[in-house]
Amino acid sequence: MGLQDKLNDLLQQGLKQVEESVNLESINDVRVKMLGKKGPITEVLRGMRDLSAEERPKVGQFANEVRDQLTNAIDEQRAKLENAKLNDQLKKEAIDVTLPGNSVAQGQPHVIQQIIDELVDLFIGMGYVVAEGGEVEEDRYNFEMLNLPKDHPARDMQDTFYVTPEILMRTQTSPMQARTLETHDFSKGPLKMVSPGKVYRRDTDDATHSHQFHQVEGLVIGKHITMADLKGTLEVVAQDLFGDELEVRLRPSYFPFTEPSVEADITCFNCHGKGCAVCKYTGWIEVLGAGMTHPNVLKMAGVDPEEYGGFAFGLGPDRFAMLKYGVNDIRDFYQNDVRFLTQFDQKG
């Protein structure tokens, strides 16, 4: 039997063994057995040295064809077996996607942050800019620029946390009013700003007080601004949060940085002015302090009080949240009880 006949027999044997392979191990065995260095094809090719010069190329070409056919057949069979193995594994590890999954709770902004966002959105819609500053502030901006010199008795009401004699945790967001007023270019128009943020005072924590709370303060400075503009602004704020039917009244008060100063009350949203436990049977609820900006505040910021004037106001989102949702203890907002906080769904 010639070499070509032997190679052809080996090709048929190899193809049959490839076809009979049922797993990756057996197909690898066929590859090693038929195409390995010690395989029968290699052994047959060693006899080519006995061939004549004319026969040797023909047999060599046929041997390469045999080797290529077996290699292609082995690769195709291996691909089929690998695919079958993968499909079998997928069937065993299949997940029924029609089954209900584990629900994931969706978070929402804290109720106080919701109130702040609602107020900020309202003021932006009224043309105000938002000015947020650092919670560590200079005494100069926290007190002195707001008409509260170092010996002013009103400082006692805001006794706070000092880092150094001149650096403290801010007691109000009013420092941003002083800073913005100091740099505003009135040749480009009036100043209308609102400053939200956390503030700190050395208060004893109880149902209505906290050493850390939030404020949203506003300032409007320009020409020909009156107390009527202030009241109109406060009415818009109160009605946006508590309802269109509420009225606002102003009572004389005192703040060092405004003159005249007022406390703003709104009609009790619970009894609509008839008197109840929420409003202590007065029909009114105190919500914020305000007033016309003191001339000294303008002077210290380099603004001429003879030419410019305006108003300032400050409100507490914590207190607004207590009033709006009937919460009796401010500490409930900070104790991170999810059962309590999830009651206040984010409004779309």
Q: Binding site membership: which residues?
A: 259
CA 193, CA 173: separation in Å to the nearest integer?
12
CA 262, CA 308: separation in Å to the nearest integer?
20
> Rounded to 5 degrees, what are φ and ψ at 136?
-100, 125
Q: Which long-range contacts (CB under 8 A, 24 or more apart) does 304-309 make?
A: 307/223, 308/186, 308/221, 308/222, 308/223, 309/221, 309/222, 309/223, 309/225
User: H/E/C letters for each residue in 85-147?
Assistant: HHHHHHHHCCCCCCCCCCCCCCCCCCHHHHHHHHHHHHHHHCCCEECCCCCEEEHHHHCHHHC
* Residue 245 Rama label (left phi>0; alpha psi -120 to 50; beta): alpha
Query: Residues forming the annotated binding site for Mg(2+)?
Result: 259
